[in-house]
Structure 1
Amino acid sequence: MTSLAPKPDKHKKAKALKPGSIRPAKELCSECGLCDTYYVHYVKEACAFINQQISELEEQIHGQSRNLDNPNDLYFGVHQDMMAARKKQPIEGAQWTGIVSSIACEMLTQGIVEGVVCVQNTKEDRFQPMPVIARTPAEVLAAKVNKPTLSPNLSVLEEIEKSGLKRLLVIGVGCQIQALRAVEKKLGLEKLYVLGTPCVDNVSRAGLQKFLDTTSKSPSTVVYYEFMQDFQVHFKHEDGSIEKVPFFGLNTKELKDVFAPSCMSCFDYVNSLADLVVGYMGAPFGWQWIVVRNDTGQEMLDLVKNQIDTQPVTSSGDRKAAVQQSIPAYDKAVTLPMWAAKMMGVVIEKIGPKGLEYARFSIDSHFTRNYLYVKRNHPEKLENHVPDYAKKIVSQYKLPKA
């Protein structure tokens, strides 16, 4: 088994890769930022696409790996609690109600951490990610709203060590967090808190523009978007209006290759190695889905318990037929006429999977697609790269032979 504790001080001798250099993960690089620092020394151990080690890291971080015989563990990872939540007073301009930003602000205000790794955007482009170490709540709030593009969050790792920070919160997605956990002991921190978001189907900045141009009626005014539980993509525009496009009406032929190869090879949709995960896919529309993975995650959530309403997670419907039908539809790049797509969306939204069953639908759909992608494009990686939990999930479905 690969050692999860790097030898001391070797990174001091390493140099970050130059911009434009071929990364060790090659076309599977998710641009997490690790290779932009002297921690590139550990990339062959740490990179999620070179050395998949979720099970081992779960054991290290949470004290146990997931129980594959427990349906919730199988899908959602190690956890102590799950719930739906929303802020009583939402943060204006937040993508949802602002729970992630609120936790980060409280941790700074109360002196629990000295900095927060988060992602603002450049002045020139609202979708161009700019990782920062926020030192004030105002800097955290400047990072609100997801950036649906590949983001080098870990490029700030050198700055963390040089700054002398000892207590840090990192907000990130699965591939970033797996690499972070693998080098965590090298950061010289007294305490690391990890707040994760579920993540799937990121794109390059050029890929994002193609998606917007292909899908939205007004791509230049889109502030953010999300694939929602009603089986529609919701685009928020500058004037506050919401544009909805049915999943089944997307131009699959044009968009099939827009997603990053790393995202097509990812099996950590739910951010298994974070202490606390805040997303939406397991919650009712308008609520956020919270997964508390360990005591550190509970400590973080407790900071905002008086600011949020909560309710138990629920689950209804049956996802399996819809998932099975989606496999060949995606494979053959099927796109329905918009009228048919809207009708199908209405029907499925009424009788289809909801709550945790919708989350399973989304996981199943992506895992079957990604399994086929790895099998076809990187067959030599299939056995070691696909985690056992993902293999078990995929085994429920009939996949194309080719």
Structure 2
Amino acid sequence: MPFEKLFEGVVNSGLCSSCGTCVSACPQHLLNIPLGEVGPEKGPGKEDCPEKCNICYDACPGMNLPYGAMEEMVFGRKRTENPVEQMLGIHKYHLVTHAVDQKIHQTGVAGASVSMLLIHGLETGFLDAAIVAGYDKDKPWQVRPYIVTEQGGVLSAARSKYGVCSINTLLAEATDKYERVGVVACPCHVWGIRKLAMNNLAPKVTNRIKVILGLYCLAQNYSLAAEYMITQRMSVKLEDVAAFQYRGGADFGGGTWVKTKDGQERSMGLLANWGMVPTVFIGYQMERCFVCHDHLSDLADLSCGDVWGRHEELEKKSPYGWTGIFVRTDAGEEIINSAIKAGVIHAERDDNMIEYYPTNPGHSKKRFANPKRIEYRKRYGWPVPNIT
């Protein structure tokens, strides 16, 4: 059956990122991804899957990734040999930004510009809804996607999540209910959306996605990462957890933070004492993330993330963090310009990122280490993605 092709060729090969594209692409609605798990499973009615249907496999960006063709579809061309484009992808320009509203600014960890763009889009009618990553209500250390339509929903999903989140499982539901949808996406989610569009596999879905806000992404991690930090590093039982954040707590920037049902709070710095970042990203990365080459969500409309290399300088101007934004497409430029004109986002032009971006660990991992890892895997006969 077609699903077996997806499962054996991608999931069992360690090439599934759990992006969720297959779930929204399936015309029979037969697939789902359990919370915190990697890879789809067949739901009730799996026998109804047409024998010659390969849509789930054709939509999947895990194994076959026609990156050059998708780049041409999005930008009308492939990137040149210019060292700036080779490193940073095709873009119009780069901005350093932050939300003007101080409460919203402090809600985020890197300028809160993504949250502010969504709020602005929803309040002005540019968007009807957005798909974001938040924490599960019953298991608050696990990350899950939500459809939000107002400021409260956006802010409830603020701050970085480092756990696996199948954002694209909600593409079909969101675009069935709403005509103008924004998506906050990691690179693998962006690939799935672009591949759907390129292959015309779910035109209603892709036609109703108004803007993709891509995130810089070092890796997504198994949900076991949060469980380890909570139980082993902060000595809290999972059944006692009331709230959790990878980057939370009262102090700006945040660290691993947990609140228990009896009101106690515990936290651990991002880097201090072998804290969250080295523990999580060394020990619990998803397998597909070891062979990913895209750190900056190069195919998104806007690419957003921490401003490494200039953060100390910028925080003298505004201490609650800044968001670096690559403006890549007309759709991205439309919403960022609207937000700047409305006075809800402060932005400064910064076209010198190539000088300091290499200090970002995501750059060394995605541009240098992972391609070398792909070479070694080929030598060992291990599965690798087919990137063309």
Q: What TM-score do the two structures reach when normalised by structure 1?
A: 0.69
Among 347, 355, 373, the alignment partner of 1:310 is: 347
* 1:3-402 superposed matches below 5 A: 24-26=10-12, 27-37=14-24, 38=26, 41-67=54-80, 69-90=81-102, 91=104, 92-163=106-177, 165-184=178-197, 185=200, 186-188=202-204, 189-190=207-208, 192-210=210-228, 223-225=245-247, 234-235=255-256, 243-245=269-271, 256-282=282-308, 284-285=310-311, 286-305=321-340, 306-313=343-350, 355-359=356-360, 362-379=362-379, 385=386
- 2-structure distance, mates of 1:47, 1:243: 36
Q: CA deviation at 1:301?
A: 0.7
Which is worse superposed, 95-104 or 152-161? 152-161
- 1-structure distance, mates of 2:175, 2:209: 13
Which is worse superposed, 372-381 or 148-157? 372-381
Gaps of 5+ in 2: 32-53, 260-264, 312-320
Identity of aligned residues (%): 18
* 3-state SS of 2:218 partner: coil
* 3-state SS of 2:296 partner: coil
Deviations 1:284-327 (A, max 9, x none): 223211100011111111132122333343769xxxxxxxxxxx
Aligned-partner residue type, residue 95 of structure 2: M
Q: CA deviation at 1:136?
A: 2.2
Aligned-partner residue type, residue 15 of structure 2: L
Aligned-partner residue type, residue 385 of structure 1: N
Q: CA deviation at 1:182?
A: 1.4
* 3-state SS of 2:269 partner: strand
Cross-structure match for 1:8: none
Aligned-partner residue type, residue 364 of structure 1: S
Cross-structure match for 2:49: none
Q: Indicate conservation of the 8 Å contact 2:303/2:327, yes or no.
A: yes
Cross-structure match for 1:328: none
Q: CA deviation at 1:368?
A: 2.9
Judged with a 3 Å threshold, the aligned counterparts in structure 2 of structure 1 residues 307 and 385 are, in CA distance, closer, same or farther, namely same
Deviations 1:184-223 (A, max 9, x none): 3424235531111111221110133335667779897863
Gaps of 5+ in 1: 1-13, 227-231, 317-352, 388-402
Which is worse superposed, 45-54 or 235-244? 235-244
- 1-structure distance, mates of 2:143, 2:372: 30
Judged with a 3 Å threshold, the aligned counterparts in structure 2 of structure 1 residues 225 and 23 are, in CA distance, closer, same or farther, namely farther
Judged with a 3 Å threshold, the aligned counterparts in structure 2 of structure 1 residues 208 and 287 are, in CA distance, closer, same or farther, namely same
Judged with a 3 Å threshold, the aligned counterparts in structure 2 of structure 1 residues 283 and 295 are, in CA distance, closer, same or farther, namely farther
Deviations 1:206-252 (A, max 9, x none): 133335667779897863239xxxxx995467669772526989997
Q: Indicate conservation of the 8 Å contact 1:225/1:235, yes or no.
A: yes
Aligned-partner residue type, residue 122 of structure 1: D
Aligned-partner residue type, residue 367 of structure 2: F
Q: What TM-score do the two structures reach when normalised by structure 2?
A: 0.72
Q: CA deviation at 1:139?
A: 1.9
Aligned length: 328
* 3-state SS of 1:203 partner: coil
- 1-structure distance, mates of 2:375, 2:298: 23
Judged with a 3 Å threshold, the aligned counterparts in structure 2 of structure 1 residues 213 and 140 are, in CA distance, closer, same or farther, namely same
Judged with a 3 Å threshold, the aligned counterparts in structure 2 of structure 1 residues 16 and 157 are, in CA distance, closer, same or farther, namely farther
Q: Indicate conservation of the 8 Å contact 1:51/1:385, yes or no.
A: yes
- 1-structure distance, mates of 2:131, 2:276: 34
- 1-structure distance, mates of 2:266, 2:338: 30
Deviations 1:91-129 (A, max 9, x none): 143233311111111111111122111122211333322
- 1-structure distance, mates of 2:119, 2:279: 42
* 3-state SS of 1:55 partner: helix
